[in-house]
A and B are shown apart, each in its own frame.
Chain A
Amino acid sequence: MANEVIFHSIHQPESWKLSSYLATGGYEMLKKVVTEKVPPEEIINQVKISALRGRGGAGFPTGLKWSFMPRHFQGDKYLVCNTDEGEPGTFKDRDIIRFNPHQLIEGMAIAAYTMGVKVGYNYIHGEIWEAYERFEEALEEARAAGFLGDNLFGTDFCFNLHAHQGYGAYVCGEETALLESIEGKKGQPRFKPPFPASFGLYGKPTTINNTETFASIPYIIRHGGQKFLELGKPNNGGTKIFSVSGHVNKPGNFEIGMGTPFAELLEMAGGVRSGHKLKAVIPGGSSVPVVPAEIMMDLTMDYDSIAKAGSMLGAGSVIVMDETVCMVKALERLSYFYFEESCGQCTPCREGTGWLYRVIHRIEHGQGRAEDLDLLANVTSNISGRTICALGDAAAMPVQGMLKHYRNEFEYHVEHKKCMV
C-alpha cells in the first residue's frame, strides 16, 4: 500500500513534468468536477468520508475545515497552501513539490472549485529554493495547458494560483503568521478568533491547508472517500508520508497507510544503524514529546495511537535516536531552535524560550543546579497554553517529554557535571 496516493507517479521519468502527470491520469478529476459541475457539497462530503486530516501537524479534519468556508460569500476569497515546512525533522512537502507538483496544483484547483475561490497562493519555505523553482515551472505548465487561469475548460470557473517564497522563519508556518507574511508584513501569528475562514488573507475568507492535504484530494475524487479511508484506519484515513531521519540506515520519505505499525516503518527505513539499538523516537517533528523505544515499538503510525502514548503524529516527521544520544544535548539543540524561532510577540514564549535554552545549556555544560529540573518543568507549564500560537507549546513539549522519560539523564548531568551516555 506504499506510494498509493501522493507518490504513485514517482517511477515516471521526470515525474514532476506535466506530461508525466497527465500520463497517470492527471487533471482528469479537475476537469471532471468542473465540467460536470459536481456539487461542492458532494466533494466536501467525500472529503469528510475519507477522514483526511490536516497533514501539516494539527490533524484537523479537512472536510470540516472546508465546510467552514462561506461558499456564497460575495467578494474575494483565498485558498492558501502551507508549504512552509520548517520544523526540524520535516521534509515531506518539499518532495511532493519536487516530484509531483501537479497533483498539488490539481488538488488546490479542486478545492478552489469546491469553495468558490478564484485566487490561491502556495507559500513555500524560504530555504527550499529548488522546490520553489520547480513549483513555478509546474505553474507555468499548468497555466499553458489551461488547468490554471480564467474560464477553465470553457466554463466560468477561474482559478489563478501563485507561488510565494517565504524567508525561512519557522513561525511563518503558523497559518496566520503565514497570511501576514504574504501580505508583506512581519510574520507574526494573529489572535484567533477571528479565524481565517472569516478573516484571512487581506481580511477575506481564506482556507489554508498543508501541501500533502491538498495533494491527497485528486485521489479522493477519483476513488471516493471510502477508498481513501480504507487505505488507513477509521478516523485516520489515507496514506501518510513519514519523513524518517536520524539513526536509521535508510532515512527518507515513506508513504504508507495510516495505522501501519512503527516497527514496519522502521524496517522500511533500513532499521536502526547497525550495531546500535533504538533509544527513543520523536514521532512527529521536533515539537512533539519524545517517546521511548519500548513504548514506540508497540505503536501504529496514526494520530490516535501516537496521541494515546502522550505524543503527537504531527507532520509525520520521525526522528530516530539510538543509544548514543545524550538527551540533554538533544534537548539543548531543540530548545535553541525554539528560542531562535520564537516570533517575540507573546511574553511567555519570547522570554520563556530563552530561559529554557539557557538553563538546559548550563546543565549540558556542567553548570546545572539541583533546582533546575523543577524550574524547567515549571517554566514550561507557564509557557504552555499561554500564547497566541502554538509555538510556545512547541517549545515546552520537548522539554516536558524529555523530563518525563529521561529525567535521570538530566539529574546525572547536574550531579556529575558530565554525560551518562
Chain B
Amino acid sequence: MANIEIDGRQVEVKDGSTVMDAARQLGIYIPHFCYHKKLSIAANCRMCLVQVEKAPKPLPACATPVTDGMKVFTQSESAIRAQKGVMEFLLINHPLDCPICDQGGECQLQDLAVGYGNAASRYHEEKRVVSNKELGPLIATDMTRCIQCTRCVRFGQEIGGIMELGQAGRGEHVEIMPFVERTVNSELSGNMIDLCPVGALTSKPFRYSARAWELTRRASVSPHDGLGANLAVQVKANRVYRVVPRENEDVNECWLSDKDRFSYEGLNSAQRLTQPMLKRHGEWQECDWQTALEYVANGLKRIRDDHGAAQIGALATPHSTLEELYLLQKFMRGIGSGNVDHRTRQSDFRLDAALQGAPWLGQSIVELQEVKSALVIGSTLRKDHPLLAQRLRQAVKAGAELSLVNPVDDDLLVSVANKLIVAPSNLVNALSQVLKALAELERTEVPTALAGISVTPAAAAIAASLSRGEKAAVLLGNLAQHHPRYSELHILAQEIARISGASLGVLGEAANSVGACLAGAVPYAGPLGRDAGTGMNAAEMLATPRLAYVLLNTEIELDSHDPQQAVRAMEQAELVVALSAYRHQALNYADVLLPVAPFTETFGTFVNTEGRAQSFNAVVKPQGEARPAWKVLRVLGNMFNLNGFGYNSAEEVRAEIIARGAMSLHEACNNQSRNIQLGDAAPAAVSGLQRIAEVPIYQADAVVRRADSLQRTVDGAAPGAVMNGVLLQQLQVEDGEMVVVRQGDGSTVMRARRDDALPLDCVRVAAGHPLTATLGPMFGEIVVEKA
C-alpha cells in the first residue's frame, strides 16, 4: 500500500496503482480521453497531465505509478496550463461541427472543451481532413473528428479479441482505419461507439434520428442471451431510439453485445402485431380483445371438454418473462394440462426426471472470469454468448486454458489450448474419452461403460488441463443442449466436473432459460421445482400432435428442433393461439393472433444464467392494442374461473415466485442429475450425412430477427451449406455453388461453402433461419445435391 496526497487529500492505494486510480478512489476527476478503466494504458492523449511534486514536468495521471509520499496537484497552475495546452492541440484540427454531430450533447471533447478550451482559436492554418471509412451497417464514421485516442483499437485487441481497427500512418497523417476493404464484424463492435470520446464513431442505425438530450434514459434488461445484460433504453415520444449499456460490473461490465445494442430496431418493425386477429373462414380479420379472448377461451374449453385437457399444449420461448412463463404454466395446469415447455430446440429430455433444479451457469459470471481451466462442450461461444465469451477471453489472457469439444471449429477469438472437433454423432464418444482419461489421471475407477473407449491425445490433454487442481469449469453450450443425446453429454460433463473438481455449468440459451425452469414452464416440475404432475415436453407435444396449442412469443417454425414436424403439428391442430409481438408465419397455421408486448412495453423479470433475477419496467407504452402477455394470461385465467388469477400487477405475479427483494435464485438452481447411468459411448454408426445446426446469432429470437441493421451484418448473411473440402469434392460441388439441401420432405437451396475444419460427412446448415425453416431435425440426416 502507498499513501499519497492528491489536491491536499490523503488516500491509501494499492501498490502498482496509478495516480488516476488514486484520484478515482478519492472521487477526484482528472480530464482524460484515451484512458479507460477496462483498456490498457496508452497515455497518448495527454489530457490527464497533472503536477507531481519533485517531477520536473507534468505527468500523465493514467500512466504514472504512485509512490509512497507522492504529492499530486490536479488543479495547480502548472497542471491546468498543461491540460489547457493539450485541449488547444486537440481542437486545432477538430472540425468543431458539433451542431451536426450525433455525439453532440454526449461528447467528452465537447464537455471538456467547456472547461479547458479557449473561446476562440489561435489556429489559423489549414485543418486536416480525414476520409471516412466504411465499417459496415452498425458504425458510422466521421474520421475528421477523431482525436486518435486509440480506444477503439485497444478495444478490438483486448476485449473483442480481434483487431479490426488500427492506426495507420504517422504524425498528423495518422488515421484509424480497418484493414483494406474490410468492415468491422465483431459481435461486440458497438462498444467502440461508446468508447469513442468524440463523434468519429457513431451508431449508424441511430444516426441523425434524435439528439442525446431529447432522449429519456430508462433501465431495462436484455431479452436475448443468457447473460442478462443491463440496458439503458433511450426513449422519445413513446418510441425506443437507442440502447446503450447500463453498467453492471457483475453482469455485462460496461459492455453490450451488438445483439443487445441494436436489436431495438426490431421493436419498431413494420411487422409488429398491434391488433388482435382472428381467422374466420380462412380470412384473417382484425378484431377487438374481447372477441379474440372469448374465441380463445371458448375454443380451448371446447377442446378440453370434448377431448380432454391433455389435447392442449403450450410452447413458449425462454425470451419471455418470468411472470409470463409462470402464468402460462399456471393457466395450463389450471385448466388441467401439464403440457407446457419452453425448450423447443431441445430434443433429448431423458434427463428431466433426474434434474434437481434449474440448469444454470453453476457459478457467478464474475467467477467464470477467474477460472484457470475451462472445457466448453458444444458451443460457438462468441456467437451464442458474446460477453460470456469475453469473460473467458480475459480468463485465458490471465493464463487460463480453454478446451473445446465441438463439431465446429470456428475462430473463437481466444486461444484454445486443446480441442476435439468431432461429428455430432461422436460427441458422446469424445466426451467419454475425456472422462476416461481423467479417471485414469485421477486414479479413480474408470466406469465400466467406458472400458472399450480409446483415448485420443487431444482428449488426454483436455483431461490433464482440467485435473490440475485449480479452479475449473465444464460448460455445456447451446449445441450440447440441442443435441439428440444431451442426457449423456450432461451426465458425462457432470462426471468430468465431479472427478476434476470443476464446476458444472449449463449455459442458459436465452435471457430467461433459468427463469423459465423456475417459473415451472417445464412439464416435469412446477414453479421452483415443486411437484406438478405430468405433462408432455416440447418434443412430445409436436411428435404427437395436440388439438390445440398456445404459443407464447415463439415462432415455432424457427424456434423448434424440427420445424417440419412442428409446422405439421400446428397445421393439424384445430386451434392455434399465438401470443406474439409480430405478425409472422403463424398467419399460415394459427387461428388467433394476440398482440403482446415485447420486453420494452411490460414489467417483467429475467433470471439470467447465473440465477440472478433482474426485473424491469416498461420503457414505452405498448404499441397499438398490444398488451403485456401477463395481462392476457390473467384474463384467460379469469375466463376459465381459475383460482389465483386476480393479480393487479406483474409485481404480484413475481412475488408469488420470488420473495420480495430476492435477487439471487441460485439456490433453486442445480445442474446435478440424480441419474448418472452412462449409456453406450461407442461412436454412433451413421448412414448418410449429418446435419450440424446452430442458431445464427441474429436469428435467436423474434425481436432480433427483425433488427434490420443486424441482418445486414456479416453474421446476418444468409447461411450456407458448409462442408469439408473432401465432401465438396465427393459431391462434385464447388465452393460457392448453389446446392439443394434436403431433409425429410423439405428442401431449400443454399450456397455451398467450404470449411476444412468440419468433420467429414457433416453439413453445417444453420437452424432458426427462414431459409432453413422447411428442413427437419437440427442434427438429423441431411442430403445435399447439386442445384
A positions within 8 Å CB-CB of B: 169, 171, 186, 191, 193, 339-348, 350-355, 358-359, 362, 375, 381-382, 384-388
Do B90 and A351 touch (CB < 8 A)? yes
A342–B174 CA distance with the chains assembled, in angstroms = 10
A147–B8 CA distance with the chains assembled, in angstroms = 59
Asked, given contacts A341-B171, A351-B93, whether A386 binds B86 with beta carbons under 8 Å apart, the answer is yes
Residues of A within 8 A of B278 (CB): none
Whether a CB of chain A sits under 8 angstroms from the CB of B562 is: no
Asked, given contacts A191-B60, A386-B57, whether A351 binds B174 with beta carbons under 8 Å apart, the answer is no
Do A340 and B171 touch (CB < 8 A)? yes
Task: Select from chain A the residue with minimum beta-carbon distance to B85.
Answer: A382
Task: Select from chain B the residue with minimum beta-carbon distance to A351.
Answer: B89
Known: A191-B43, A382-B89; 19 extra A-B contacts, CB below 8 A, are A191-B41, A193-B65, A340-B170, A341-B171, A342-B170, A342-B171, A343-B170, A344-B169, A345-B174, A346-B44, A346-B45, A347-B148, A348-B89, A353-B171, A355-B92, A355-B123, A358-B126, A384-B57, A386-B49
Do B44 and A388 touch (CB < 8 A)? yes
Asked, given contacts A355-B125, A385-B57, whether A344 binds B92 with beta carbons under 8 Å apart, the answer is no
Residues of B within 8 A of A352 (CB): 89
Q: What per-residue 1/0 map shows which CB atoms of B38-49 lie under 8 Å from chain A? A: 000111111101
A358–B171 CA distance with the chains assembled, in angstroms = 14
Asked, given contacts A191-B60, A339-B171, A351-B92, whether A345 binds B125 with beta carbons under 8 Å apart, the answer is no
Do B172 and A350 touch (CB < 8 A)? yes
Whether a CB of chain A sits under 8 angstroms from the CB of B488 is: no
Pick from A344, A348, A375: contact of B85, CB under 8 Å: A348
Whether a CB of chain A sits under 8 angstroms from the CB of B82 is: yes
Do B44 and A347 touch (CB < 8 A)? yes
* Cβ < 8 Å to A, chain B residues 166-185: 167, 169-174
Do A342 and B172 touch (CB < 8 A)? yes
Residues of A within 8 A of B82 (CB): 382, 386
Q: What per-residue 1/0 map shows which CB atoms of B119-131 lie under 8 Å from chain A? A: 0001101101000
A347–B45 CA distance with the chains assembled, in angstroms = 5
Whether a CB of chain A sits under 8 angstroms from the CB of B147 is: yes
Whether a CB of chain A sits under 8 angstroms from the CB of B63 is: yes
Give how many A-B residue pairs fall within 8 Å (CB-CB): 96
Shortest CB distance A192–B (Å): 9
Do B44 and A345 touch (CB < 8 A)? yes
A138–B508 CA distance with the chains assembled, in angstroms = 64
Residues of B within 8 A of A171 (CB): 170
A386–B55 CA distance with the chains assembled, in angstroms = 12
Residues of A within 8 A of B58 (CB): 385-386
Pick from A347, A358, A381: contact of B86, CB under 8 Å: A347
Selected A-B contacts with CB under 8 Å, 28 pairs: A193-B65, A340-B170, A341-B171, A343-B170, A344-B148, A344-B170, A344-B174, A345-B42, A345-B44, A345-B148, A346-B46, A347-B45, A347-B47, A347-B148, A348-B46, A350-B148, A351-B89, A351-B92, A352-B89, A355-B89, A355-B92, A358-B126, A375-B122, A382-B82, A382-B89, A386-B46, A386-B85, A387-B46
Pick from B47, B56, B92: contact of A385, CB under 8 Å: B56
Residues of A within 8 A of B125 (CB): 354-355, 358-359, 362
Do B86 and A354 touch (CB < 8 A)? no
Asked, given contacts A191-B43, A386-B86, whether A350 binds B57 with beta carbons under 8 Å apart, the answer is no
Residues of A within 8 A of B123 (CB): 355
Task: Select from chain A the residue with minimum beta-carbon distance to B55.
Answer: A385
Whether a CB of chain A sits under 8 angstroms from the CB of B164 is: no
A19–B175 CA distance with the chains assembled, in angstroms = 50
Residues of B within 8 A of A348 (CB): 46, 85-86, 89
Do B171 and A354 touch (CB < 8 A)? yes
Residues of B within 8 A of A359 (CB): 125
Task: Select from chain B the residue with minimum beta-carbon distance to A194.
Answer: B65
Residues of A within 8 A of B147 (CB): 347
Shortest CB distance A382–B (Å): 3
Pick from B43, B86, B171: contact of A344, CB under 8 Å: B171
Pick from B86, B88, B171: contact of A343, CB under 8 Å: B171
Residues of A within 8 A of B171 (CB): 339-344, 350, 353-354
Asked, given contacts A382-B85, A386-B85, whether A351 binds B172 with beta carbons under 8 Å apart, the answer is yes
A171–B57 CA distance with the chains assembled, in angstroms = 21
Residues of A within 8 A of B126 (CB): 358
Task: Select from chain A the residue with minimum beta-carbon distance to B86.
Answer: A347
Do A347 and B170 touch (CB < 8 A)? no
Residues of A within 8 A of B93 (CB): 351, 354
Shortest CB distance A261–B (Å): 31
A347–B47 CA distance with the chains assembled, in angstroms = 9
Give the residue among B42, B82, B172 with the most A Cβ atoms within 10 A: B172
A344–B174 CA distance with the chains assembled, in angstroms = 6
A343–B150 CA distance with the chains assembled, in angstroms = 14
Do B43 and A169 touch (CB < 8 A)? no
Shortest CB distance A398–B (Å): 17
Asked, given contacts A191-B41, A386-B49, A388-B43, whether A347 binds B57 with beta carbons under 8 Å apart, the answer is no
Shortest CB distance A183–B (Å): 14
Do A191 and B56 touch (CB < 8 A)? no
Residues of A within 8 A of B122 (CB): 375
A387–B56 CA distance with the chains assembled, in angstroms = 13
A404–B169 CA distance with the chains assembled, in angstroms = 33
Do A347 and B90 touch (CB < 8 A)? yes
Give the residue among A345, A381, A384 with the most B Cβ atoms within 10 A: A345
A358–B127 CA distance with the chains assembled, in angstroms = 11
Shortest CB distance B86–A (Å): 5
Do A186 and B167 touch (CB < 8 A)? yes
Task: Select from chain B the residue with minimum beta-carbon distance to A358.
Answer: B125
A276–B173 CA distance with the chains assembled, in angstroms = 40
Do B65 and A353 touch (CB < 8 A)? no
7 closest A-B pairs by CB = A382-B85, A385-B57, A344-B174, A342-B171, A351-B89, A358-B125, A191-B43
Residues of B within 8 A of A362 (CB): 125
Shortest CB distance B197–A (Å): 12
A191–B63 CA distance with the chains assembled, in angstroms = 7
Residues of B within 8 A of A191 (CB): 41-43, 60, 63
Task: Select from chain B the residue with minimum beta-carbon distance to A343.
Answer: B170
A216–B93 CA distance with the chains assembled, in angstroms = 46
Residues of B within 8 A of A342 (CB): 170-172
Residues of B within 8 A of A354 (CB): 93, 125, 128, 171-172
* Cβ < 8 Å to A, chain B residues 15-29: none
Do A344 and B47 touch (CB < 8 A)? no
A351–B89 CA distance with the chains assembled, in angstroms = 6
Task: Select from chain A the residue with minimum beta-carbon distance to B175.
Answer: A344
Task: Select from chain A the residue with minimum beta-carbon distance to B56.
Answer: A385
Do A382 and B88 touch (CB < 8 A)? yes
Shortest CB distance B53–A (Å): 16
A381–B49 CA distance with the chains assembled, in angstroms = 14
Give the residue among B47, B123, B171 with the most A Cβ atoms within 10 A: B171
Residues of B within 8 A of A384 (CB): 57
A382–B122 CA distance with the chains assembled, in angstroms = 13
Give the residue among A342, A347, A359 with the most B Cβ atoms within 10 A: A347
Task: Select from chain A the residue with minimum beta-carbon distance to B83.
Answer: A386
Shortest CB distance A92–B (Å): 25
A413–B92 CA distance with the chains assembled, in angstroms = 25
A290–B42 CA distance with the chains assembled, in angstroms = 33
Asked, given contacts A359-B125, A382-B88, A385-B56, whether A347 binds B169 with beta carbons under 8 Å apart, the answer is no
Give the residue among A342, A354, A385 with the most B Cβ atoms within 10 A: A354
Residues of A within 8 A of B65 (CB): 193
Q: What per-residue 1/0 map shows which CB atoms of B81-101 lie under 8 Å from chain A? A: 010011011101100000000
Give the residue among A191, A339, A359, A384 with the most B Cβ atoms within 10 A: A191
A351–B94 CA distance with the chains assembled, in angstroms = 10
A355–B126 CA distance with the chains assembled, in angstroms = 9
Task: Select from chain B the residue with minimum beta-carbon distance to A388.
Answer: B43
